[in-house]
Structure 1
């Protein structure tokens, strides 16, 4: 069967840059799904996206569907013929509907009976007949939240559409979509070359566009931009400051990227670099340049969509654009410094944190109290932590943060240092928000960690306390992120903090503002649930997580120590047998309602195997309890593994359910002791296969 490469392109007005990658990849995925549903074979599909086009290029697409045989089952033979063997109305009607006579029908025999059967040959349809529906499906499923109408068209799309091209090799396939009939017309660059041109073959799409000043492949365009940015920065002895998010947004704004260098007045460098960088990146999509020591240079790079014969004019224009933005930042900075952060505390009472939970001042007061308490627990300076808590939200009331919200915390640090606050206090004002995303840095000092934890616990307890638990994808207060932040700070900084204790204190600080009586337990369970999800993402075995989770340790560092110990124990040759024995012990104790503590009488131990098990347990019990108290769970499980021979011998030779009730109770007490020692780490029985 002949195969060709298929091109589907929508030529549009400028598409939303932050949506371009999703639109392009979704378009290709939708086309693939539609081709698969149509049972058309192909090798692979590529997506192309530029500001004024979305395209899909399908490689090795079959010219038409394969012919196939479709089996159409009719009535059961018992219902298809009467007692005299004549076809019934049901059989005749079914046969007529399939264009055959009853005599032409085949028979299908199964275990459940015999039916009439017609095997119909269905000819495969060509791509020319199928493409209209494929295009319709692919467009209809695009993630467009706010479609628009244009001109006199009734159709809607994310932006006005000007061209539709559908080429199967060199063949133009007639398709209509979004008010356009397909043609060979392709839009060139808006300013360079021909406004439109005719495409002769699907395979020439990229090269033809390149000759018309369009790099259609998104990844290629982004790679070219990154290479040019890095090369230009290296020539200047500087470092280009951009991430994938900024790079992708720039790549979504241009079709023919040209990197140019510009500069601004060095006097603006007196403003904190974060504010300048924010306005360059976020407002103008410029790429700041950093010196080798990380300080900001007054040189910057930008990407234009024009290859100009007079680039000085473009550079000058961009320098004129950035100047008032930097001047605003300078003005805000100078104005804000006229008032201390402490003097702004009263103004926090004018801004609600949450209607039922009070103002930002209420929140900062709570954070201060909880920060001091956490600081005492982790041996940090409670005075610095409390002071940072009181000032934690004051920079939100500054002109700079109101204008550039992303620099909250950062500006708090600068203003605190200007006010003469201690350095640990100033650092905590910035680091209270850490970590902000997966892989982000953590607070550098214990004081900062105390404030960051207090802020997150206050939000978690407050929102849970008024019953606004996150549901599905809805998490307006970012409680999941707060929980993960709590866990990362505690575990990665090896802090000994009990979730129940901190949550309980946070609840007490809220006093009568909370209405959810189950708040304490729900918050702790929520955080532990996030911990289990994190561990799964790190490829920790599910049964290992379940074994530890069953003990519900509420100190995250302790929880992690148990996880690591159980994961290591699982690799021990004795683990499977010991897990099975634990499961057996647990079942025996449960059936006999044995729990708590029970005394073991040495005089009632008569069998050699039970005496040996008791002696072996007694020999290591003290050491196990000592190691458990010091969170040395690997050593605990290692020592318990030495009991395997004694445990095996016990179950092979001792009848637990003895006729003498005192002997039975004594043996149950021995099993209870054994079980309790294993439970110092985890419920090992859950590792059993």
Structure 2
């Protein structure tokens, strides 16, 4: 057994590529070794900004010898009149065996000829020489580059290779035009703390050897060290640092020998909104902010903690340098903030004419006008108070105004956040200001949801406008391509509606929005139909993936090619959610199984009749004079009694009432089918037959108030 070390030395790699490359190797390397019948006892991955490395432990010196069964042509093609054909001879010759080695085996597709071939194991070194370059050049990522006069592509130039088979150099070669990079045992230490070359004597010495050269190759160790130092230094300041997971993951891959350094800035900058200061710190400078709890609130301190890759002995110099940088950035932000606050937020609205939303859909000012109209339509559906209506209109008017402020121009990630701040400075109500911020929520799948009515309504209107417009000009997402994040927008509409229990009619909003789009763009077709299909797909996905509803129950509430259920779902998003969740609950408690057989049998037979699926009342439809058995009268009376219970279930959206009623009617229906006074549904008399099918159709229709039981798979 032997250990293999591969290190790829580079110029400083982007932090996101470092983590991505290791994740790719964690899949590629074990898979490729397994395909070569090599199974090490362990694989360790290491990475810093200047290197990617893997240590593969306890590899055999060569593959084990093995036998392999190889399938040839069908017997019908391999033999004719009991003699081998040219197909059989060619197969044997290609495999290097005699015709005597051929065996005949049965397969699901008939008889085929086979040979069992003995394969001698290859040298592991030879295999690693083939695989290692593939591991390097097979990495994928953004912003790859070429260097020198060659065609080799990598995020940054490759400068050295280390390849050791225990203590021996394993010869590897990367050719890039006129430049050849040969493997060796020589690595590089820290640029500042150990600029000399580093010799690695054997593969398992890798971590300790690099550590002695001021390079910590284990990213987990770097992460632990960074976290511990940040917490310790923030405690010394009398506060606590906020360690953002994404920022921590990034800085771990920006340094080889991390040192936490505390810096400060002038307290006068604390007059800026906290979000501005932390954006400068986190997004632009990669600093960790420090907070102190005072009076039950967390207040930002005029300090920051940065992670240095330099000389720890020069922490004071590093802190001062970083302090100068952030002070300059905060001074700019302070200027922008004061200049923006000099104007009322509404004065920025006309300037949105200078910002293009989409070439064919006009400016952001045009979009704001459409958002206002759609928000009003939603407010009308929700029957809001006059005061709420005015606040929604104000929120819609101002929701994009901060896009043309100096602060958001410089820091785009603050859109919405600054809109809220500037609205308050301009004297707008807290509800309007909060709505401006919240209309962007949720910004991702795990983000918070808007809590204010203004934020919910304007957020819905904004997303609806984007969807209708982009679909209308034909830019429909395909596969993984979704440049306008339309799937996220549609998911947002559904989730905002569900989270806020908003009784909106999405179908009506889509129809009106599509009509308005066609009026403004006469050469375009209405996107309404394709948007309906798109939303049904989104609802289906959200119910299954986020609400954990079984796929067949989702099909039951959305219908399978059933326009009635599609329209019902889009008319009332809350109802489709409630019905799906209710079905899941009664499946789990056994109530669904108790009524399933009766309803499903009735529905299958009813499909042979002509009764409209929306009819519930048996009065005037069923003719009691055609009854031949008492079970028919019992069935009819049960349906009469069922009607008010179904209507109450619909009115109150209490589907437990309906299920209880269906459970009560089940014995009556079973007697109709199989009891002592049972009947033959498909009677010879067409009037009797129609009467009985209508009885079953009515029961089916009552059940359809909840779901299409034909789509449910029996549990």
**Same fold per superposition (TM over 0.5):** yes
Per-residue deviation at 1:28?
3.3
Q: Aligned pair 1:612/2:637, yes or no?
A: no
Query: 5 Å matches for 1:469-508?
Result: 469-508=476-515
Per-residue deviation at 1:44?
4.1
Length-normalised TM-score, structure 2:
0.89
Per-residue deviation at 1:285?
0.7
Query: 5 Å matches for 1:332-371?
Result: 332-371=336-375
Partner of 2:702: 677
> Among 575, 578, 593, which residue is 2:592 paired with?
575
Partner of 1:11: 9
Q: Aligned pair 1:171/2:171, yes or no?
A: no
Stretch of structure 1 that moved more, 542-551 or 442-451: 442-451
Contact conserved, 1:353 with 1:363, CA < 8 A, in 2?
Answer: yes
Task: Report the secondary structure of 2:226's partner residue.
Answer: helix
Partner of 1:110: 105
Per-residue deviation at 1:474?
1.5
Stretch of structure 1 that moved more, 397-406 or 595-604: 595-604
Query: What CA distance in whole angstroms lies between the structure 2 residues aligned with 1:81 and 1:537?
Result: 55
Partner of 1:256: 257
Query: What CA distance in whole angstroms lies between the structure 2 residues aligned with 1:284 and 1:620?
Result: 68
Aligned length: 684
Structure 2: tracts of 5 or more residues without a match: 560-564
Partner of 2:268: 267
Contact conserved, 1:8 with 1:56, CA < 8 A, in 2?
Answer: yes
Query: What CA distance in whole angstroms lies between the structure 2 residues aligned with 1:426 and 1:617?
Result: 54
Q: Aligned pair 1:313/2:317, yes or no?
A: yes
Per-residue deviation at 1:202?
2.1
Change (3 A) 1:29 1:225: same
Query: 5 Å matches for 1:229-628?
Result: 229-292=230-293, 293-378=297-382, 379=384, 381-510=388-517, 512-514=519-521, 517-538=525-546, 539-550=548-559, 551-552=565-566, 553-554=569-570, 555-573=572-590, 575-576=592-593, 578-596=595-613, 597=615, 599-628=621-650
Alignment deviations for residues 121-150 of structure 1 (CA, whole Å, 9 cap, x no partner):
221011111111111221232013433333
Per-residue deviation at 1:366?
1.4
Query: What CA distance in whole angstroms lies between the structure 2 residues aligned with 1:359 and 1:116?
Result: 70
Alignment deviations for residues 99-136 of structure 1 (CA, whole Å, 9 cap, x no partner):
6665xx33413359998875442210111111111112
Partner of 1:45: 43
Per-residue deviation at 1:656?
1.0
Change (3 A) 1:96 1:650: closer
Change (3 A) 1:139 1:638: farther
Task: Report the secondary structure of 2:367's partner residue.
Answer: helix
Task: Report the secondary structure of 2:298's partner residue.
Answer: coil
Contact conserved, 2:10 with 2:158, CA < 8 A, in 1?
Answer: yes
Task: Report the secondary structure of 1:259's partner residue.
Answer: strand
Change (3 A) 1:398 1:82: closer
Change (3 A) 1:594 1:290: same
Q: Aligned pair 1:192/2:200, yes or no?
A: no
Change (3 A) 1:26 1:600: same
Stretch of structure 1 that moved more, 72-81 or 592-601: 72-81
Partner of 1:121: 118
Task: Report the secondary structure of 2:184's partner residue.
Answer: coil
Structure 1: tracts of 5 or more residues without a match: none
Contact conserved, 1:569 with 1:638, CA < 8 A, in 2?
Answer: no
Per-residue deviation at 1:166?
1.9
Query: What CA distance in whole angstroms lies between the structure 1 residues aligned with 2:83 and 2:661?
Result: 83
Alignment deviations for residues 589-647 of structure 1 (CA, whole Å, 9 cap, x no partner):
33333325471123333323222232233223202211222211233223322222222
Per-residue deviation at 1:43?
3.5
Query: What CA distance in whole angstroms lies between the structure 2 residues aligned with 1:620 and 1:79?
Result: 69
Change (3 A) 1:74 1:232: closer
Task: Report the secondary structure of 1:291's partner residue.
Answer: strand
Per-residue deviation at 1:545?
0.6
Measured on the aligned residues, the alpha-carbon RMSD in Å equals 2.7
Change (3 A) 1:669 1:93: closer
Per-residue deviation at 1:437?
0.8
Partner of 1:32: 30
Query: What CA distance in whole angstroms lies between the structure 1 residues aligned with 2:88 and 2:536?
Result: 64
Query: What CA distance in whole angstroms lies between the structure 2 residues aligned with 1:398 and 1:473?
Result: 34
Task: Report the secondary structure of 1:253's partner residue.
Answer: coil
Change (3 A) 1:546 1:658: same
Query: 5 Å matches for 1:146-185?
Result: 146-151=143-148, 154-177=151-174, 179-185=180-186
Per-residue deviation at 1:203?
2.1
Per-residue deviation at 1:194?
5.2
Query: What CA distance in whole angstroms lies between the structure 2 residues aligned with 1:565 and 1:126?
Result: 62
Change (3 A) 1:535 1:235: farther
Query: What CA distance in whole angstroms lies between the structure 1 residues aligned with 2:485 and 2:584?
Result: 31
> Among 122, 132, 135, which residue is 1:135 paired with?
132
Stretch of structure 1 that moved more, 612-621 or 13-22: 612-621
Query: What CA distance in whole angstroms lies between the structure 2 residues aligned with 1:649 and 1:530?
Result: 42
Query: What CA distance in whole angstroms lies between the structure 2 residues aligned with 1:461 and 1:216?
Result: 51
Partner of 2:562: none
Task: Report the secondary structure of 1:512's partner residue.
Answer: helix
Query: What CA distance in whole angstroms lies between the structure 2 residues aligned with 1:109 and 1:456?
Result: 64
Change (3 A) 1:645 1:171: farther
Change (3 A) 1:613 1:573: farther
Change (3 A) 1:110 1:413: closer
Partner of 2:665: 643
Task: Report the secondary structure of 1:129's partner residue.
Answer: helix
Task: Report the secondary structure of 2:159's partner residue.
Answer: strand
Contact conserved, 1:579 with 1:685, CA < 8 A, in 2?
Answer: no
Stretch of structure 1 that moved more, 674-683 or 209-218: 209-218
Per-residue deviation at 1:93?
7.0
Alignment deviations for residues 637-679 of structure 1 (CA, whole Å, 9 cap, x no partner):
2332222222222221221112222222111111111011111
Contact conserved, 1:189 with 1:213, CA < 8 A, in 2?
Answer: yes
Task: Report the secondary structure of 1:165's partner residue.
Answer: strand
Change (3 A) 1:621 1:143: same
Per-residue deviation at 1:460?
1.2
Query: What CA distance in whole angstroms lies between the structure 1 residues aligned with 2:654 and 2:84?
Result: 83
